[in-house]
Structure 1
């Protein structure tokens, strides 16, 4: 790497997204991996899928060896202007009412206090009606 490195914007990096011209953005650095396309163990599709965005997570998730990381120096062409990269938005879950276990338990208890006596009454009436039918 030279002492003076070129600084690219994301807009300058994005168009380099094909087999004959492929640039990757990894850890804030720009790499021209066009010459490596045929030699990449995962195939050129993997590299092409990582173009046009910050490919740091893609690179790190694979678990590249130290020799693979050292190879990056050979393809380094400059740095990225971090202001040109959109920030990742933090996921905020939708506002939902708080689940109150006590209120749910309270509702179930009240429901049972109503239904159980009603069932007992229904069974008693049914038995009485059945016994009258049998004696007649």
Structure 2
């Protein structure tokens, strides 16, 4: 950690989406992108603390020693503390629409296209086979 890269606050703030998420805790910068799906509190918790110093949020939760030990693998450098905005207005993180079961967008689009067609086909079949002569 002696040769840690120093990051400017504005640079860290740009990494605020599910597929590219950095957070600041205790003056250190962590790239938690690969941890988003595994975080016990969900990715929304991590996204909510982007763009600010998340130290208080992290400490308020009371993370375990093993959680603290795990942080080392996500460490990428230090924050230049002189660049951290003290009173930053909250900016909603940019993220894809909520998808609780992580279904791919392609599958969702296919289903949105096919389901109405299937319903029409079923309605047509019911009408054809239940028609009274």
TM-score of the superposition, structure 1-length normalised? 0.62
DSSP 3-state at the match of 2:73? helix
Structure 2 gaps of 5+ residues are: 88-133
Matched residue pairs, number? 87
Shift of 1:3: 3.1
TM-score of the superposition, structure 2-length normalised? 0.63
DSSP 3-state at the match of 2:66? helix
Partner in structure 2 of residue 64 of structure 1? 63
Name whichever structure is richer in helix by fraction: 1
Structure 1 gaps of 5+ residues are: 89-136
Q: Looking at CA atoms only, which structure, 1 or 2, has the larger radius of gyration?
A: 1
Partner in structure 2 of residue 49 of structure 1? 48
Q: Aligned partners of 1:23, 1:87: CA distance in 2, in Å?
A: 18
Partner in structure 2 of residue 15 of structure 1? 14
Partner in structure 2 of residue 118 of structure 1? none
Instruction: Determine if the alignment matches structure 1 residue 37 to structure 2 residue 45.
Output: no
Instruction: Determine if the alignment matches structure 1 residue 77 to structure 2 residue 76.
Output: yes
Q: Aligned partners of 1:3, 1:85: CA distance in 2, in Å?
A: 21
